[in-house]
Amino acid sequence: MNKEALARILKDHKYKILFIGIGIIFFLYMFVDIMEIDAAQYALISMEMSITKSFLHVYQLGLDYLDKPPLLFWLSSLSFMILGVSNFAYKLPAILVAILGIYSTYRFAKLWYSRQTAVFAALILATSQAMFLMVNDIRTDVILLGFTMFAFWQLSEYLEKRKWLNLILSAVGIGGAMLAKGPLGIMIPALAFGSEFILKRQWKNILKYQWLVLLVIVAIILLPMCYGLYTQFDMHPEKVVYGLKGPSGIDFYFWTQSFGRITGQNYWKNSAGYFYFFHTILWDFQPWIFLFIPALLLKLGKIIYQKFKGSSSEEYITLAGFVLPFIAFSFSRYKLPHYLYVLFPFASIITADFIVRVKDHWKQILGKVQFGIIHFFWLLIIVGLLFVFPPKNFLLPLGLLLLYIIFIFAFRKIKEPGEKIIIPTVIAAVAFNLLLAVNFYPNLLKYQAGSQAGHYVVENNIPVSKIVQLDNPSFSFDFYSRDIAPPDTTLNNLKKGDWLFVDETELARVKAHQLKFEVVKEFPSFRVTGLNKTFLYRKTRNQSLKKRYIIKLQ
């Protein structure tokens, strides 16, 4: 193949090649162990559901579970039943929904903007650090994002073509989003499209009777979950769940879990301030955040200048879809970074529109600035290779060096100003997450004692029925040891021949009860979602480690 033919292939298929590269990273993440706390908990619940076949009543280690809606558990338990219990099987359904979200972002953007803007938006979303985090650390947010964007795409198709099929599919998307994370699944579309109609003075679109049909379809989709919640909780006021006497499952789902975080009725609270998400988005929307900020400010400034009277030639769905929920989330009394991830498709479209629309002169300046900023990721790669988890062979550094050469080559050779911003940034994001997927996370999770102990139990044929956890149970231990027994907090039921998985404090309890035991295996332990510089630097890592043990009573 001559140089001209190769250059033509790269030019004609550049976007496909980029998406294939992103897909490879997604695939690699599917084999990384599941992290504590949330993802390991959800995997454990899904495994238990696949064993008990209790799909309408959700349990965790045999105890009533009242927190997240069941769609993630349904999908993952079905995957376990078909493929067997594994990292791959747990992550597969959610990653497929993530891909649906990326594709829906492309199709939604293509309806309102140019094809180039739509492709750019999909690439930006797919390579945001939040998306890579979501496909590795699977939680309900990735399913919320996927079905929400599917609903946005189908609603836009319906408003343009007036076809009932699109309305029905949008209801499926909203229903799926609500089954993933509650009323947010309908509130975000209502805020976004409602704002679009108000700004454009499209009063007829607000009063369409078809929205009642949509709500009926959504209600039908939610019916199995509601029936399960009612029969598991509302019919049993004698139950005590998480310290709550006789909680209503229906009320918890439709109000307490979401709106209760703002009103204070939800018992989950933390000390995060109103500007919490202003800080977390600076990392979560890397490597695009410094393009998104001016894009958002310009879009906000324009609508304010227009005195909130929308132009028929523009869409305001993405602006309202990002800004209004962002404000609402900021008033929540319990905040975590991943709550914001569902808004990133809108941020991606706003950023892509900005890159396409800005004049070529400014694109060239932005391209150079972005090229400089993105070297931060390459610096992190070097630091990771040298000071965090040095690789055991030359293959990974060689691959990353090759990607850096491609990164430099792309920036120098690409002529189109928008692509000069997008393509090198995508390459850098892929390279950084290649390091994370094949080196950083696999090595990091060697210090997640729960999963390591679970693997040890299976590999050494330790009888699961005789394994006990005490006050500080590990979801990852239960998942990887395939154990769904609740913890024993009393020590009264233990007997000779039992095995325990304990931390240092629990080991002291065992000693205080004068139980004889043998330490079978010791595991270094660190809370892998709470990284700090002491742990990250390989020479000081041991200072941050605790220990967990598998012991056998004598």
Q: At residue 459, what is the residue type?
A: E
What is the spatial distance between Cα 110 and Cα 104, in angstroms, rounded to a whole number?
10
Beta bridge partners of 502: 549
- pLDDT tens, position by position, for the chain (554 residues)? 566 776 677 777 889 999 999 999 999 999 999 998 889 999 999 999 999 999 999 999 888 888 889 999 999 999 999 999 999 999 999 999 999 999 999 999 999 999 999 999 999 999 999 999 999 999 999 999 999 999 999 999 999 999 999 999 999 999 999 999 989 999 999 999 999 999 999 999 998 899 999 999 999 999 999 999 989 988 888 888 877 787 888 888 888 777 755 555 555 555 567 788 888 899 899 999 999 999 999 999 999 988 888 777 789 999 999 999 999 888 877 778 878 899 999 999 999 999 999 888 898 999 999 999 999 999 999 999 999 999 988 999 999 999 999 999 999 988 889 999 999 999 999 999 999 999 999 999 999 999 999 999 999 988 887 788 888 888 999 999 988 877 877 777 778 888 888 888 888 888 888 888 888 999 999 999 888 999 999 999 999 999 999 998 88
In angstroms, the Cα distances linking 353 to 78, 113, 299, 358, 372 are 39, 8, 10, 8, 22
Structure tokens at 351: 């950023």
Q: How many CA atoms lie within 13 A of 94 on its CB side?
A: 36
What is the spatial distance between Cα 138 and Cα 87, in angstroms, rounded to a whole number?
10
The whole-number pLDDT of residue 92 equals: 97
Q: How many residues does the chain have?
A: 554
Residues in CB range of 501: below 8 A, 6 or more apart: 450, 453, 467, 468, 469, 474, 477, 548, 549, 550
The whole-number pLDDT of residue 535 equals: 93
SS3 552: strand
For 155-190, how does the pLDDT look when each residue is reduced to its tens digit (9 = 90+)? 999 999 999 999 999 999 999 999 999 899 999 999
What is the spatial distance between Cα 163 and Cα 76, in angstroms, rounded to a whole number?
33
What is the spatial distance between Cα 27 and Cα 208, in angstroms, rounded to a whole number?
43
What is the spatial distance between Cα 239 and Cα 417, in angstroms, rounded to a whole number?
62
In angstroms, the Cα distances linking 263 to 136, 138, 278 are 32, 28, 21
- Break the chain down into helix, strand, coil percent, rounded to 5: 70, 5, 25
For 448-489, how does the pLDDT look when each residue is reduced to its tens digit (9 = 90+)? 999 999 999 999 988 887 788 888 888 999 999 988 877 877
Helix segments in 230-270, DSSP class H = 249-251, 260-263
Beta bridge partners of 552: 499, 518
The whole-number pLDDT of residue 314 equals: 86
Contact predicate 484/44, CB 8 Å: yes
Contact predicate 46/217, CB 8 Å: no
Q: Based on the number of CB atoms within 10 Å of its own CB, is 257 exposed (0-12), middle (13-18) or buried (19 or more)? A: buried
What is the spatial distance between Cα 352 and Cα 19, in angstroms, rounded to a whole number?
16
Contact predicate 277/330, CB 8 Å: yes
- Give me the torsion for CA of 311, 315, 319, 325, rounded to 10°: 110
Domain positions in the chain: 10-357, 360-446, 448-553
Contact predicate 288/301, CB 8 Å: no
In angstroms, the Cα distances linking 482 to 51, 85, 130, 451, 530 are 10, 9, 30, 11, 26
Contact predicate 162/117, CB 8 Å: no
Q: Is the CA virtual torsion 239, 243, 244, 248 positive or negative?
A: negative
In angstroms, the Cα distances linking 546 to 453, 478, 505 are 14, 20, 11
What is the spatial distance between Cα 130 and Cα 283, in angstroms, rounded to a whole number?
8
DSSP 522: E
The whole-number pLDDT of residue 329 equals: 86
The whole-number pLDDT of residue 261 equals: 59
Structure tokens at 484: 């769904």
Q: Omega before 37 cis (within 30°)?
A: yes
Residues in CB range of 168: below 8 A, 6 or more apart: 217
Q: How many CB atoms lie within 10 A of CB 109?
A: 29
The most distant pair of C-alpha atoms in the chain lies apart, rounded to whole Å, by 78
SS3 84: coil
What is the spatial distance between Cα 232 and Cα 57, in angstroms, rounded to a whole number?
6
Contact predicate 394/445, CB 8 Å: no
What is the spatial distance between Cα 23 and Cα 103, in angstroms, rounded to a whole number?
13
Q: Is the CA virtual torsion 50, 56, 62, 65 positive or negative?
A: positive
Closest among 91, 113, 106 to 25, alpha carbons compared: 91
The whole-number pLDDT of residue 484 equals: 81
